[in-house]
A and B are shown apart, each in its own frame.
Chain A
Amino acid sequence: MSLSISDAAADRVKAFLENRGKGLGVRLGVKTTGCSGMAYVIEFVDEINPDEDVTFEDKGVTIVVDKKSLVILDGTEIDYAKEGLNEGFKFTNPNESERCGCGESFTL
């Protein structure tokens, strides 16, 4: 089981955490919702629940994933990308098979 984060994404996460003034890292997860089944979640972490969460360290960033989501996210790389004026975090997940047209949700 592994997860990785790109240099660009790690820098951003650190900068956002510093700006926020608190937080242990980022939580990555999967929600069952959206037009095509599942959607990615990225949130700040203030609390880690040892019974449910697994933590990874990569490039100085603590990544927290709940065990349920980890099955789906295994092998995912998080990048920070720019597309035109828009910019944000991008999930590259080898387990994903299909996405909805708008790219907001996916299926395995």
Chain B
Amino acid sequence: MALLQIAEPGQSGKPHERKFAVGIDLGTTNSLVATVRSGKSDTLPDENGEHLLPSAVRYTPTETIVGKAAREAAVEDPHNTIISVKRLMGRGVEDLKLLGEQLPYEFVESETSVPRIKTVAGDKSAVEVSADILKALKKRGEETLGDELVGAVITVPAYFDDAQRQATKDAARLADLNVLRLLNEPTAAAVAYGLDSGQEGVVAIYDLGGGTFDISILRLNKGVFEVMATGGDSALGGDDFDHAIAEWIMQQAKISNDQLDASRSRLLLQKACEAKEALADAESVDITIDLDEQQTWYGSLNRDTLNELIDPLIGKTLLSCRRALRDAEVDKDEIIDVVMVGGSTRSLRVREKVGEFFECEPLVSIDPDKVVAIGAAIQANALAGNDPDGEMLLLDVIPLSLGIETMGGLTEKIIHRNTPIPVSRAQEFTTYKDGQTAMAVHVVQGERELVDDNRSLARFELRGFPPKVAGALRIRVTFQVDADGLLSVSAMEETSGVEASVEVKPSYGLSDGEIESMLKASMEHARDDIEARSLREQQVEAARVIEALDSALAEDGDALLSDEEKQVILAARDALVQSKDMATTSQQVKDAIAAVEKASAAYVAKRMNSSVQSTMAGHKVEEFKTESED
């Protein structure tokens, strides 16, 4: 039978309707997936009992390998094995040059701004590589939970910008994973310790990993964490501790640099790392190094010496902490909790020094490698609706722009993609024809310029406008998206108060793959779209000009124009009608409109004069004065 988890009272799901959600820590070096089972959040191991999934992907002509096997292949197959892809997320080709890193990958020369890595399995973007890592984690989650996932909370560094966050979301979509929220890594760590339901105040998240250090200062206010400052060092971590110890061993054993080859220095670093880990429990540790076939060096490292070696490195992290506090404009004594994240915070010396600096005991009871994923899983569980007391944290954004159709089948965006929800935006539109008494509102979603290329969400009509000349009425269209992503659109004609509205769920029926392909299409067709848009705009303008000209001619064309003058105007008009329907570029239509305007310039002037005369006829100059003074 199915294996069951203990639910909160009254929260048991029906069979096949249980809402399994996971938290994913998508890391630079390692990734983790966690979930809440029987009320306890924990990371999920693979079949070998390994919780950490190395964030490495190797592409071969036949398969995609993710994890440990891929990382081990990085040396032998560097071009097809992608590691640390997180550093490339949301970056353009130009950004990569600025990163100044020597990346072993071959980038494809492309016109788009998204860099693509050449591999034997085809060109891969950072989003696709991340998606492969996410797919592996999703599979582990589904196999462990025995059912499909309703979604995931994925963590991102607090300093990730919109492009990097969107890239992460896009990767999840490619992996067919529903993103419940993106959560800042330090926030997830704080959630794991339950600080979100604790007292309000400022907390510090000290995250020392293998190769990077991050410090985040968060303020908890009404259950929401606000990031006040972030800081750190992208090239400082536990690996530097190992280097310091290895150098000390070299000094003690009198090994010179030129005696070191690649395998020997790797061995030294391994010994250094083992010594560091052993000193977490022991006061001192013995080290033996084979110098050559005959000689072996015996030494011992004690805690005091270790501390001397790593103190300067810890000191550097504390400098970053001081800077972050200054940026956040908070004093040390305002910090109520310090959360330790990252494997290197297992070091007792680090804990001691951080405790001294912040003058409070740091939180260390949760495995620092897993704490971010554990917090993300708690959040995912709450967002999936399994925890009645769960707080809703952070904001979400709308995945695709929302807008309405305007004349000529063009899309007018009212709420742009990536706008945080809830949101409300309004825009004014006007009538297009004289005497227009109704308007159709067509709600569309997507990034393309033409309505036909976007997705139609809803249509409704607004009727009963007072008949007025074109452009005289104001129709206010309001888009409102609530916290659950539910869109309501209302339209009101302001002079008459005529109103209509409709409710739609923007993402309803739209699979993640469809969103992805819609986004892709909008990028691929960007140039065509702009030309198509301006052609449509000119066609609409042409129709408007013809309409206005025809109604003017019908009214007073015979009175004001000689036959000859009329023929010239009509010839230009006919050319425009033809151009409007046949033209392939916007410029052709534009030229034809200009020709009509030129041909009818004298006529327009005559009409203006006669109109002014007829308006003023029978009135005195004084009357106009008073009117203008009112």
Where the two chains meet, the residues of A that have a C-beta atom closer than 8 Å to any C-beta of B are: 12-13, 15-16, 19-20, 26-27, 29, 31, 33-35, 39-47, 81, 83-91, 99-100, 102-106
Q: Which residues of B contact A42 (CB under 8 A)?
A: 4-7, 12
Q: Which residue in A40, A46, A84 is a CB contact (below 8 Å) of B4?
A: A40
Instruction: Report the minimal beta-carbon distance from A85 to chain B, rounded to whole angstroms.
Output: 4
Question: Secondary structure of the B side of the interface?
Answer: loop
B140 engages A85 (CB within 8 Å): yes
Please tell me if B143 contacts chain A, counting CB pairs below 8 Å. yes
Q: Which residues of B contact A27 (CB under 8 A)?
A: 9
| B133-167 interface (Cβ within 8 A of A) | 140, 143-146
The 8 tightest CB contacts between A and B, nearest first, are A88-B3, A104-B15, A34-B15, A85-B144, A103-B1, A16-B38, A41-B12, A86-B146
- Measured in the bound complex, the distance between the Cα atoms of B9 and A79 in whole Å is 20
- Measured in the bound complex, the distance between the Cα atoms of B41 and A16 in whole Å is 10
- Measured in the bound complex, the distance between the Cα atoms of B39 and A13 in whole Å is 11
| Complex: chain A residue closest to B8, CB-CB | A44
| 29 A–B contacts, CB within 8 A, in A order | A12-B38, A13-B6, A15-B40, A16-B6, A16-B40, A27-B9, A33-B15, A34-B15, A34-B16, A35-B16, A39-B14, A42-B4, A42-B7, A43-B7, A43-B9, A43-B11, A44-B6, A44-B7, A46-B9, A85-B44, A85-B143, A86-B145, A86-B146, A88-B37, A89-B3, A99-B1, A102-B15, A104-B2, A105-B15
Where the two chains meet, the residues of B that have a C-beta atom closer than 8 Å to any C-beta of A are: 1-12, 14-16, 37-40, 44-47, 140, 143-146
Q: Which residues of A contact B37 (CB under 8 A)?
A: 88
- Measured in the bound complex, the distance between the Cα atoms of B352 and A2 in whole Å is 54
Instruction: Report the minimal beta-carbon distance from A12 to chain B, rounded to whole angstroms.
Output: 7
- Measured in the bound complex, the distance between the Cα atoms of B14 and A45 in whole Å is 19
Q: Which residue in A43, A81, A85 is a CB contact (below 8 Å) of B6?
A: A43
Q: Which residues of A contact B10 (CB under 8 A)?
A: 43
| Complex: chain A residue closest to B5, CB-CB | A88
Instruction: Report the minimal beta-carbon distance from A47 to chain B, rounded to whole angstroms.
Output: 7
Q: Which residues of B contact A47 (CB under 8 A)?
A: 9
Q: A15-B40, A16-B6, A47-B9 are in contact. List 5 more A-B contacts (CB 8 A).
A: A46-B9, A81-B3, A86-B3, A90-B4, A91-B1
- Measured in the bound complex, the distance between the Cα atoms of B8 and A45 in whole Å is 8
Q: Which residue in B3, B9, B40, B47 is a CB contact (below 8 Å) of A87?
A: B3
Instruction: Report the minimal beta-carbon distance from B247 to chain A, rounded to whole angstroms.
Output: 43
